Every structure is written in C-alpha cells, then in structure tokens.
Amino acid sequence: DSGVTQTPKHLITATGQRVTLRCSPRSGDLSVYWYQQSLDQGLQFLIHYYNGEERAKGNILERFSAQQFPDLHSELNLSSLELGDSALYFCASSRTGPLVNEQFFGPGTRLTVL
Amino acid sequence: DQQVKQNSPSLSVQEGRISILNCDYTNSMFDYFLWYKKYPAEGPTFLISISSIKDKNEDGRFTVFLNKSAKHLSLHIVPSQPGDSAVYFCAARTSGAGSYQLTFGKGTKLSVIP
C-alpha cells in the first residue's frame, strides 16, 4: 500500500459526459501528479500540483483540468469525453525537492467511455 | 517522439537466472533514472533509481547500470524469482521551475518461469 488513495476504482460513462477523479496523497506529501495510461502506452504525464499551485503541464488536453485543494487532495476533471479518453488514470505523490526521486502511485481509476 | 524507449515488450526468464531489462533514452537533460514495477490492478511501485552522475546502483537482488555515452540503462535482477513477474517501467526525471517530471517508457512484461 503506497498510501495514495484514488476514487473511484472504476468509472463507466458515455461520450460527451464529464467525470471527476479524486486523489489523496500520502500524508505529508505536497506534490500530486496525474498520469494517463492508455492501452499499450506508457504512463503519460498530465499535470503536477504543488501545495495547491500548478507547477507543470504535460500532454493534458484542454478538455481536462485539475486542482489541488487546501487539504492537499486533488481532482482531475475530464469533460466532453471521447472514446479515446478510456484509460487508466493514476495519481502519484511525492515530497518535492532535488534529492527526492520517487513518486508513490495510487491504484488508479479505470475510465471506460462508451 | 518517445524520449524513453523500452524496445522489448516482454521477456521470459527461468527462475534463478538473471533477468536483464533494457531502456534507451534520447534527452541529455534527464538527471535521474528510475525503475518501477507494476502488478495488474495496482499502481506502479518504485524499485530503484540512479543518478545521472553514477554508473551503477545496487539494492539487494536489483542492480541498475547507466551508460551515459550510449544513453542506455539496464536493470538486472539476480536471481529471478516467480514473484518478480510484473511489468517493469523505466522512467527518467527532468527538473526545472520547481517541478520534477517523470517520463516513462512503455514497459517490459517480465515472466519468471518456475
């Protein structure tokens, strides 16, 4: 158990809909990262939040947005969903700094868009 | 454009023998390299890392080698055990503007045969 929790575990929805994925980082971790893993793909970095502020963006679509709340949990919002958005979405947390390397991953949310 | 490549999607090894997983990268700005292990229905778990200024790091049965001139790293598992069967992801870190981002390869599925 990494200490990172994600809800829900599975989500099935229709095209055009909007969903919210939730992540609670490990106790004490200020950084939250979101990743998308599509079929046969590695993990694609989406966005990084540190202590409530957006720090970096990766390959995140404009239809996707995220935020980190004062209690440090984070939400990833996916809107106008398309079939191609079906994927595993992972969040990871870490202490942030030059000597910190590893990110700790949650179990993921499997999103299926029908 | 894949900056981190794992060219072998799968690898089978006999129990007790050595497993060697390979990874190539193109970005000279990567400052740390990490290996993650992933079981089905779980998030990736950090295994071992190496700084770009080192060429070897060992942790028990796991050793990571880095060849900077060839932009190549490898993970050696000796001896391999059936519990090592999982998907292994190579990741590389870039640092900048208060964010430490990981770029992942697509993974290599290791099967250790008893």
What string of pLDDT tens digits covers the 114 residues of chain A?
A: 889 999 999 999 999 999 999 999 999 899 999 999 987 778 899 999 999 999 889 889 999 999 999 999 999 999 999 999 999 999 999 986 666 668 899 999 999 999
Name the DSSP letter for residue A51. T
- Tell me the nearest-neighbour CA distance from A43 into chain B, angstroms: 6
Instruction: Give the residue with greater pLDDT, A102 vs B63.
Output: B63
State the pLDDT at residue B77. Answer: 98
According to DSSP, the residues that pair with A77 across neighbouring strands are: A20, A65
Mean predicted confidence (pLDDT) in B17-38: 95
State the pLDDT at residue A99. Answer: 61
User: Residue A44 in contact with residue B106, Cβ under 8 Å?
Assistant: no
Q: Is the pLDDT of residue B64 over 80?
A: yes
Distance of CA B103 to the CA centre of its chain: 12
State the pLDDT at residue A59. Answer: 83
According to DSSP, the residues that pair with B59 across neighbouring strands are: B62
Taking any CB pair shorter than 8 Å as contact, residues of chain A touching chain B are 2, 4, 33, 35, 40-45, 48, 50, 55-56, 58, 90, 92, 94, 96, 98, 100-108
Q: What are the C-alpha distances in Å from B56 to residues B43, B52, B66, B107, B111?
A: 26, 10, 6, 21, 24
Omega of the bond leading into A107 within 30 degrees of 0 (cis): no
Pair of tokens at residue B12: 């089978």
Sequence-ordered list of residues with C-beta below 8 angstroms from that of B15, at least 6 positions apart, any chain: B79, B80, B81, B82, B112, B113, B114
Instruction: Give the residue with greater pLDDT, A99 vs B25.
Output: B25
Q: Do B49 and A92 touch (CB under 8 A)?
A: no
Pair of tokens at residue A71: 């209690």
State the pLDDT at residue B30. Answer: 92
User: Residue B56 in contact with residue B66, Cβ under 8 Å?
Assistant: yes
Q: What are the C-alpha distances in Å from B106 to residues A25, A92, A97, B94, B97?
A: 25, 18, 26, 18, 26
State the pLDDT at residue A1. Answer: 81
